[in-house]
Amino acid sequence: MKKIIALMLLLSITITSYAQKNNQDKAVKTAIENFFKGFHKGDTILLKKTIHKNIIAQTTFTTKKGDKVLRTTKEVYKTLLNFAKKVKPTDDYNEKIGSYTIHVDGNLASVWTPYEFYNKGKFSHCGVNSFQLFNNNGNWEIMYLVDTRRRTNCSTTR
């Protein structure tokens, strides 16, 4: 009888833990999805809910000469909001996310998302986004975003 009770207790803890992880993963994924919705539709209110005021953004790519470059965007929070304000209904930006690999530990989440970016229906580039999110009192906010960009070898996303 004691073994059955111990097994039931272990099973209950495992199920509860799994459900909590799924809820956290879903909340993190929703924050990223809302970031893209806000960004592509010019919705600054939605965008503000998804990014931390001190967000850092970088991109890495290879030049035509073969040089490896890391570019850092300055004043990211302000830059993103200003960009979103200028988005028109006729603009057609679409970032297709291939998958989400999510890791959560307490109030820190790390997310890896292969993507393809299209402008007006035309393929522009592909790569991988790496997000770091902070759980700010129940609201997941992107605090760091770095992406790769390339126009070839998109087999992971296409």
Query: pLDDT at residue 9 above 60?
Result: no
pTM here is 0.80
Q: Which of 117, 145, 153 is nearest to 129 (CA)?
A: 145
Confidence of residue 2 (pLDDT cuts 50, 70, 90): low
Q: Say if CB 140 and CB 27 are below 8 A apart.
A: yes
Query: pLDDT at residue 104 above 70?
Result: yes
Confidence of residue 39 (pLDDT cuts 50, 70, 90): confident
Question: What's the confidence (pLDDT) of residue 22?
Answer: 74
The whole-angstrom separation of Cα 87 and Cα 25 is 30
Query: pLDDT at residue 11 above 60?
Result: no
Helix axes 76-86, 2-41, angle to 10 degrees: 60
- Side-chain-facing half-sphere of 55: CA atoms under 13 Å: 27
Other C-beta atoms within 10 Å of 93: how many?
Answer: 15
Q: Which domains does the chain have, with CATH numbers?
A: 2-149 (3.10.450.50)
